């Protein structure tokens, strides 16, 4: 339940609060940088007609999407700053590695930047693994290989909290094993999706040729691999179905999994991952997928499965291999699927990979420098203000019974807040990054992360842990810990020091779109099914549950109605949790803002009233635009609505917005009172 979906490892950012603008502090306000929100407005658009285009349209017109990106916006501006600073840190580490961590940073950077070696190596880094695939004598051996190498995944496999007992870490299995982003790509009939599907076999064939196949063999192999994946896709659940926590929870003895999917020895599969203890009980998300996977292991030939394994191996390794291979990969997944005209420069791609590998070590340096105690305190206080507003709103809900209210209030009081950066840092000393190929360094990091997960089995849950780095431009709610996690990076407004931002902007940008959003996740259609201790356990009366669902259904209908690109519309069910969180965040931020001095004084800044600036501040959080290709992909694979609808959608449900901007029937943003969503 993130604020955004992460499209690659690199949606990180730096907390640019005080230090990064040091030296630029001007005492003459006339020379200050443009106003944080006024500068983005397109005054030719009527805010009542299309608020997103009004608030952000000026900036969007002036800032086209660069060729190497599929979207461009505020997160990218923050990221660009971060890239420059990270590059310096890496280069300094190469020049003068001072400790074990900086040696690892230096080795990772050097191996990734050494394009001469990477291009000369070609396929070499994965040659041993390709040979091992060829040498498998039967299906069992091949399955064993996939479990051991971690580079080919037949399914998803991870260690996580038991949804019904948050004190327990367990092995978890889920659907997976396909090369297109999700099952819909194999079946949807719209032109865009069909075009991608039709190009897919040729792409698989090209990649298989790099493994040493001639073109005729590769073409035939690719057709068989895609047919195999289509069988797996058919047994995979849709995006919205994966959001039902009860329906995706099947706790069983591992021997039971052997009964459901008997062509794999799952005890051995787990052992091959490196797990020797505490794995007698597992959680299987989608049992029917595993039955199909098992049947397919028998119905398809060993030769087809070997080709499948080779394709998935080179597909997962492509970004670390030669330019020829990486560019072929990019032409399909970058250009065709996401509309990127060219690749990011190598140094940025290496930094993206480094963020995924060892990002928290870099974050430690950043937190020290760029998120001071005052900033941490400001946003911790804001969390408490927002929590207080939700308390008041729950107490006054007219549709919920007192007994459910008491439990909701208890859950709210128990939400843990994590702000800025972790109190305890991960120890990367065992990560085997050294002078070796880039591929090997990336794999060493992946192995470290798997071992890190495995080490959690049989131990008490560490609730101090962070799943995002401090420099990340994102945030999340974790229902199993009943916690909101707010990295320093998400509070950054590019080019502004924190103290330059007026409360209106801060309450909209941070209070509503981040803090209020994440807190509301604890009470969205999915989060509300977890109790105060983080267990999947209903605390609702039947009547209250029905009333909640009726209200949520109004929101599903509202968002289903937004057509975004061609004939493709938002998936109201799949995006419901995020849309509820957005609406809740705006209402909570607004109530909190009304108590500030700025709101009460009602003085204009840069020509806008405090109330107007609040809504503009929220829209600033979604300042971005996206290529059509990437929008289409987002509609199929992302539980978040596109940026424009994260502003215009919930604003259309907020009475205060109608008052501030004087909306009338017939305006683009207007919805009749009876069709406005009212939940929290
Ligand atoms: Zn969210």
User: Which CATH number is 271's domain given?
Assistant: 1.10.1380.10
Give residue 373's pLDDT.
Answer: 86
Give residue 640's pLDDT.
Answer: 97
| CA of 121 relative to ligand 1 center, distance in Å | 42
Give residue 516's pLDDT.
Answer: 98
Give percent above pLDDT 70 in the chain: 95
Question: Does residue 646 lie within any of the structural domains?
Answer: no
Is the pTM for the entire model greater than 0.85?
yes
Give residue 619's pLDDT.
Answer: 98
CB 509 within 8 A of CB 621: yes
pLDDT digits (tens, 9 = 90+) for 552-588: 999 999 999 999 999 999 999 999 999 999 999 999 9
- Rounded CA gap, 324 and 320, in Å? 11
| CA of 644 relative to ligand 1 center, distance in Å | 15
CB 118 within 8 A of CB 394: no
Of 75-84, 442-451, 579-588, which gets the smallest average pLDDT?
75-84
Angle between helices 287-299 and 139-149 (to 10 degrees): 130
| CA of 511 relative to ligand 1 center, distance in Å | 14
Give residue 497's pLDDT.
Answer: 81
Question: Does residue 200 lie within any of the structural domains?
Answer: yes
Question: Does residue 348 lie within any of the structural domains?
Answer: no
| CA of 407 relative to ligand 1 center, distance in Å | 22
> Bigger pLDDT: 10 or 618?
618
Give residue 9's pLDDT.
Answer: 33
| CA of 578 relative to ligand 1 center, distance in Å | 5
| CA of 52 relative to ligand 1 center, distance in Å | 19
CB 504 within 8 A of CB 598: yes
Of 56-65, 111-120, 491-500, 562-571, which gets the smallest average pLDDT?
491-500
pLDDT digits (tens, 9 = 90+) for 636-667: 999 999 999 999 999 999 999 999 999 999 99
Nearest C-alpha neighbor of 350 from the set 116, 109, 117, 70: 109
Q: E strands along 525-595, which residues?
A: 563-565, 568-569
Task: For residue 510, give the DSSP letter.
Answer: I
Q: What is the dihedral of CA 485, 488, 491, 494, to 10 degrees?
A: -150
Token digits of residue 654: 């907020």
Phi first, then psi: give them for residue 162, nearest 5 degrees. Answer: -65, 120
Total domains present in the chain: 1
Classified as helix, coil or strand, 130 is helix
Give residue 19's pLDDT.
Answer: 27
Q: How confident is the model at residue 369 (pLDDT cuts 50, 70, 90)?
A: confident
Phi first, then psi: give them for residue 478, nearest 5 degrees. Answer: -110, 110
Token digits of residue 506: 């801060």
| CA of 194 relative to ligand 1 center, distance in Å | 30
For the residues 82-93, what does the mean pLDDT come to? 89
| CA of 658 relative to ligand 1 center, distance in Å | 24
Of 358-362, 432-436, 515-519, 546-550, which gets the smallest average pLDDT?
358-362
| CA of 521 relative to ligand 1 center, distance in Å | 7
> Bigger pLDDT: 27 or 227?
227
Question: Does residue 164 lie within any of the structural domains?
Answer: yes
- Rounded CA gap, 611 and 657, in Å? 9
| CA of 528 relative to ligand 1 center, distance in Å | 14
Give residue 591's pLDDT.
Answer: 98
**pLDDT reading at 85 higher than 90:** no
pLDDT digits (tens, 9 = 90+) for 379-426: 999 999 999 999 999 999 999 999 999 999 999 999 999 999 999 999
CB 136 within 8 A of CB 149: no
| CA of 575 relative to ligand 1 center, distance in Å | 9
pLDDT digits (tens, 9 = 90+) for 253-276: 999 999 999 999 999 999 999 999
For the residues 160-174, what does the mean pLDDT come to? 97
| CA of 616 relative to ligand 1 center, distance in Å | 20
Angle between helices 127-135 and 139-149 (to 10 degrees): 160
What would the DSSP string read from start to end of 639-664?
SSPPHHHHHHHHHTT-HHHHHHHT--
Question: Does residue 361 lie within any of the structural domains?
Answer: no
pLDDT digits (tens, 9 = 90+) for 30-49: 445 799 999 999 999 999 99
| CA of 525 relative to ligand 1 center, distance in Å | 12
| CA of 116 relative to ligand 1 center, distance in Å | 42
| CA of 110 relative to ligand 1 center, distance in Å | 36
Of 285-294, 320-329, 352-361, 490-499, which gets the smallest average pLDDT?
490-499
Q: How confident is the model at residue 10 (pLDDT cuts 50, 70, 90)?
A: very low
Encode 329-361 in three state secondary structure. HHHHHHHHHHCCCCCCCHHHHHHHHHHHHHHHH
400 to 395, 534, 577, 675: CA distances (angstroms)? 9, 22, 19, 19
Of 29-43, 124-138, 284-298, 459-473, which gets the smallest average pLDDT?
29-43
Question: Among the residues of 63-160, which ranges form H helices?
Answer: 74-95, 100-113, 115-121, 127-135, 139-149
- Rounded CA gap, 181 and 61, in Å? 31
Token digits of residue 96: 């003068």
| CA of 474 relative to ligand 1 center, distance in Å | 9
- Rounded CA gap, 251 and 536, in Å? 13
| CA of 477 relative to ligand 1 center, distance in Å | 7
For the residues 230-245, what does the mean pLDDT come to? 98
Q: What is the dihedral of CA 130, 134, 136, 137, to 10 degrees?
A: 180
| CA of 123 relative to ligand 1 center, distance in Å | 40
Question: Does residue 582 lie within any of the structural domains?
Answer: no
pLDDT digits (tens, 9 = 90+) for 505-544: 999 999 999 999 999 999 999 999 999 999 999 999 999 9
- Rounded CA gap, 509 and 191, in Å? 37
| CA of 459 relative to ligand 1 center, distance in Å | 29
| CA of 526 relative to ligand 1 center, distance in Å | 11
Classified as helix, coil or strand, 414 is coil
CB 25 within 8 A of CB 490: no
Give residue 486's pLDDT.
Answer: 97
Question: Does residue 214 lie within any of the structural domains?
Answer: yes
- Furthest CA-CA distance within the chain: 78
Give residue 372's pLDDT.
Answer: 81
Token digits of residue 7: 């499209």
**pLDDT reading at 23 higher than 70:** no
Domain that holds residue 235: 152-301
Q: How confident is the model at residue 20 (pLDDT cuts 50, 70, 90)?
A: very low
**pLDDT reading at 362 higher than 90:** no
| CA of 640 relative to ligand 1 center, distance in Å | 7
| CA of 647 relative to ligand 1 center, distance in Å | 14
> Could you count the other beta carbons within 10 Å of the beta carbon of residue 499?
11
Give residue 611's pLDDT.
Answer: 98
pLDDT digits (tens, 9 = 90+) for 472-500: 999 999 999 999 999 998 988 888 888 88
For the residues 619-636, what does the mean pLDDT come to? 97
CA dihedral over 167, 170, 175, 177, signed as positive or negative: positive
pLDDT digits (tens, 9 = 90+) for 182-192: 999 999 999 99
Give residue 17's pLDDT.
Answer: 26
Question: Does residue 467 lie within any of the structural domains?
Answer: no
Angle between helices 643-651 and 51-62 (to 10 degrees): 150
CB 12 within 8 A of CB 85: no
Give residue 396's pLDDT.
Answer: 98
Give residue 1's pLDDT.
Answer: 64
Q: In what order do the strands lie in the sheet with 483-487?
A: 416-420, 483-487, 476-478
| CA of 189 relative to ligand 1 center, distance in Å | 29
CB 471 within 8 A of CB 488: yes
Give residue 28's pLDDT.
Answer: 38
Give percent above pLDDT 90 in the chain: 88
Look over the chain and give the mean of its residue pLDDT values, rounded to a whole number: 93
């Amino acid at each position: 339940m993130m604020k955004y979906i992460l499209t690659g490892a690199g949606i990180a950012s730096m907390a640019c609060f005080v230090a990064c603008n040091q030296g630029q502090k001007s005492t003459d306000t006339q020379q200050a940088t443009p106003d944080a929100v006024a500068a983005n407005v397109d005054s030719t658009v009527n805010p009542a007609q299309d608020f997103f285009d009004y608030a952000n349209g000026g900036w969007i017109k002036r800032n086209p999407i660069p060729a190497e990106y599929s979207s461009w916006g505020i997160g990218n501006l923050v990221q660009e700053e971060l890239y420059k600073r990270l590059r310096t840190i890496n280069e300094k580490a190469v020049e003068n590695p001072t400790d074990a961590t900086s040696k690892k940073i230096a080795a990772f950077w050097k191996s990734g930047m050494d394009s001469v070696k990477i291009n000369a190596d070609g396929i070499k880094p994965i040659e041993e693994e390709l040979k091992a695939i060829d040498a498998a004598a039967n299906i069992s051996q091949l399955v064993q290989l996939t479990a051991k190498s971690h580079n080919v995944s037949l399914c998803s496999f991870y260690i996580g909290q038991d949804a019904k007992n948050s004190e327990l870490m367990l092995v978890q299995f889920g659907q997976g094993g396909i090369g297109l982003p999700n099952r819909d790509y194999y079946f949807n009939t719209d032109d865009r999706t069909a075009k991608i599907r039709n190009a897919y076999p040729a792409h698989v064939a090209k990649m298989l040729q790099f493994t040493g196949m001639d073109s005729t063999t590769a073409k035939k192999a690719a057709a068989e691999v895609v047919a195999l994946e289509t069988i797996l896709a058919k047994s995979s659940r849709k995006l919205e179905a994966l959001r039902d926590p009860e329906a995706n929870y099947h706790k069983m003895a591992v021997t039971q999994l052997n009964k459901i999917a008997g062509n794999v020895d799952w005890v051995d599969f787990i052992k091959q991952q490196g797990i020797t203890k505490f794995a007698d009980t597992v959680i299987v998300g989608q049992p029917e997928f595993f039955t199909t996977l098992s049947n397919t292991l028998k119905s398809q030939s060993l030769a087809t499965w070997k080709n499948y394994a080779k394709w998935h191996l080179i597909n997962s390794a492509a970004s670390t291999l030669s330019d020829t291979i990486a560019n072929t990969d990019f032409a399909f997944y970058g250009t065709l699927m996401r509309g990127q005209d060219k690749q990011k420069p190598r140094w940025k791609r290496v930094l993206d990979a480094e963020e995924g590998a060892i990002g928290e070590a870099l974050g430690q340096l950043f937190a020290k420098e760029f998120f001071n105690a005052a900033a941490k305190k400001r946003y911790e206080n804001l969390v408490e203000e927002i929590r207080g507003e939700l308390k008041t709103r729950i107490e006054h809900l007219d549709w919920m019974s007192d007994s459910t209210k008491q439990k909701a209030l208890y859950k709210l009081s128990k939400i843990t807040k994590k702000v800025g950066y972790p109190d305890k840092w991960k120890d990367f000393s065992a990560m085997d990054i050294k002078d070796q190929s880039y591929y090997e360094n990336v794999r060493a990091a992946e192995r470290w992360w798997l071992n890190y997960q495995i080490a959690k089995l049989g131990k008490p849950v560490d609730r101090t842990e962070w799943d995002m780095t401090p420099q990340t431009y994102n945030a999340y709610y974790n229902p199993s810990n009943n916690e909101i996690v707010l990295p320093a990076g998400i509070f950054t407004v590019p080019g502004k020091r924190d103290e330059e931002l007026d409360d209106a902007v801060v309450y909209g940008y941070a209070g509503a779109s981040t803090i209020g959003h994440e807190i509301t996740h604890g009470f969205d259609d999915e989060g509300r099914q977890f109790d105060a201790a983080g267990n999947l356990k209903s605390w609702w009366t039947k009547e209250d549950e029905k009333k909640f669902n009726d209200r949520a259904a109004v929101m599903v209908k509202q968002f289903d109605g937004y057509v975004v690109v061609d004939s493709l519309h938002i998936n109201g069910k799949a995006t419901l949790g995020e849309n509820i969180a957005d609406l809740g965040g705006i209402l909570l931020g607004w109530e909190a803002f009304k108590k500030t001095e700025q709101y009460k004084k009602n003085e204009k800044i840069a020509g806008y009233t405090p109330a107007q600036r609040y809504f503009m501040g929220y829209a600033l959080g979604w300042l971005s635009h996206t290529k059509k290709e990437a929008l289409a992909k987002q509609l199929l694979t992302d539980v978040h609505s596109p940026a424009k609808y994260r502003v215009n959608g919930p604003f259309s449900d907020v009475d205060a917005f109608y008052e501030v901007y004087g909306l009338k029937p017939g305006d683009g943003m207007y919805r009749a009172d009876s069709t406005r969503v009212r939940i929290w």
